[in-house]
Amino acid sequence: MRYLDVDTGTVKISKIGLGTWQFGAREWGYSQQYAEQDSQLIVARAIELGVTLFDTAEIYGFGRSERILGRAISGHRDAVFLATKILPVLPVAPVVEQRAVASASRLGVTRLDLYQVHQPNPAVRDGTIMRGMRSLQRVGLVTEVGVSNYSLSRWQAAEAALGGPVLSNQVRFSLVAPGPGRDLVPFAERSGRVVIAYSPLGQGLLSGGYHRSNRPANRVRALNPLFLPDNLERAEELIGVLRQVAAAHSATPAQIALAWVIRSPAVVAIPGASSLAQLESNVAAADIELADDEWRALSDAAQRFSPVGGPSVLPRLLRARLAR
Ligand SMILES: NC(=O)c1ccc[n+]([C@@H]2O[C@H](COP(=O)([O-])OP(=O)(O)OC[C@H]3O[C@@H](n4cnc5c(N)ncnc54)[C@H](OP(=O)(O)O)[C@@H]3O)[C@@H](O)[C@H]2O)c1
């Protein structure tokens, strides 16, 4: 495993982490056995392999993900950089404080290494929420503050409101969502901040395992326009480039997709895993180094990928869902 060169004062952050939305969230459609047993084995193996960054949120499975993760890390607290998120529905300081305590209690810990605002509140600026974050830091319940789904300007405004570093911005970042590479990643690189890449495998699309006649069935991906038949077809060229680079490294397309996203020293990725084998494969991607020409070929293919999107896809998503 490789780690970020950022001093957090607690545990160093692994370049590949584990996203745990999948734990106990019905929309992923995984089994009861996955929620109860596989999740425990996946976390234990991740820790064994040097993964430190574990990401969850109060909203995932309405607290179930936090509980499942908390059970899995008990006894390993010192080996874990624990990140969770608050949904800023009522972003006032006392609510923020109370929600942090509730998350910590579900996780069974007395310290959240990273407490992230899950998404920008469109109606309320960050002054009040950051007041809550500041007092959580002061009492030691929260070590680092982060945000998620923030633009660069809002990330910087959040820092001004906190009066200190907002360590990370967790955003959708992958070969099918390369946007953060333009502004967030350069900012993170020059200011000692971190971009946490979520959906780094495009929710599994970049594994190359899905196509027009083999589409994933669960609710998360039924509602993701990337998995519309047209878009799966449009992604074939990108998957082809991934396969070529993968062959040169005796790796899988998913591993190359992760290696591409974490190439910057300021980026870590938090892929979810539906099995132990996926977790192991994702962890191994931390050690793959892409040559400059490989990185460029992948980046160019990512730019050429233009999925159909916007409001016009809504009827298609509905039709695709009803056709199942
Ligand atoms: N902040 C936010 O707003 C936000 C939003 C979304 C996610 N997140 C976080 O980011 C994490 C990851 O994002 P995500 O789950 O949306 O997408 P992802 O990590 O891109 O995709 C995860 C899915 O890809 C498949 N997969 C994983 N490893 C694989 C491998 N080695 N080979 C083939 N397939 C593989 C699995 O699904 P199958 O096996 O079923 O195909 C798995 O459930 C989440 O768990 C969550 O913690 C945050």
CA 132 to each of CA 24, 58, 98, 105, 128: distance values in angstroms, whole numbers, following the listed order: 28, 17, 9, 18, 7
Q: Is the pLDDT of residue 214 over 90?
A: no
60 is a catalytic site residue:
yes
Tens of pLDDT, residues 134-168: 999 999 999 999 999 999 999 999 999 999 999 99
Q: With residue 295 as reference, give the H or E element that holds it.
A: helix 292-304
pLDDT band at residue 258, thresholds of 50, 70 and 90? very high
The contacts of residue 313 (CB under 8 Å, 6+ apart) are: 225, 228
pLDDT tens profile 267-308: 999 999 999 999 999 999 999 999 999 999 999 999 999 998
319 C-beta neighbours (distance < 10 Å), count: 10
Cβ of 65 closer than 6 Å to ligand 1, yes or no, is no
Rounded percentage of the chain residues whose pLDDT exceeds 90: 86
pLDDT computed for residue 44 by the predictor: 98
- Could you report the per-residue pLDDT of 104-136, keeping only the tens digit for each? 999 999 999 999 999 999 999 999 999 999 999
> What's the CA gap between 313 and 306, in Å, rounded?
14
- pLDDT score, position 321: 62
**Given the residues 3, 30, 34, 60, the one annotated as active site:** 60
Rounded to the nearest angstrom, the gap between the alpha carbon of residue 295 and the centroid of all alpha carbons in its chain is 21
Question: Measured from the CA of 148, which atom of ligand 1 is nearest?
Answer: 1
Predicted model pTM = 0.96
Mean pLDDT for the chain? 94
Ligand 1 centroid – CA 184 distance (Å): 21
User: What span, in angstroms and rounded, lies between the C-alpha atoms of 133 and 116?
Assistant: 9
pLDDT in tens, 15-51: 999 999 999 888 898 999 999 999 999 999 999 999 9
Quick one: which atom of ligand 1 is closest to the CA of 22?
A: 45
Instruction: Give the pLDDT confidence score for residue 320 in this predicted structure.
Output: 62
Ligand 1 pocket test target in 274, 279, 280 with most atoms within 8 Å of CB: 274
Model confidence at 324: pLDDT above 60? no
- Asked if residues 117 and 161 have their Cβ atoms less than 8 Å apart, the reply is no
List, in order, residues 6 or more apart from 289 with CB less than 8 Å away: 259
Task: Give backbone dihedrals phi and psi of 72, rounded to 5 degrees, phi first.
Answer: -70, -30
pLDDT of residue 284: 98
Instruction: Tokens 């890390």: give the residue.
Output: 73
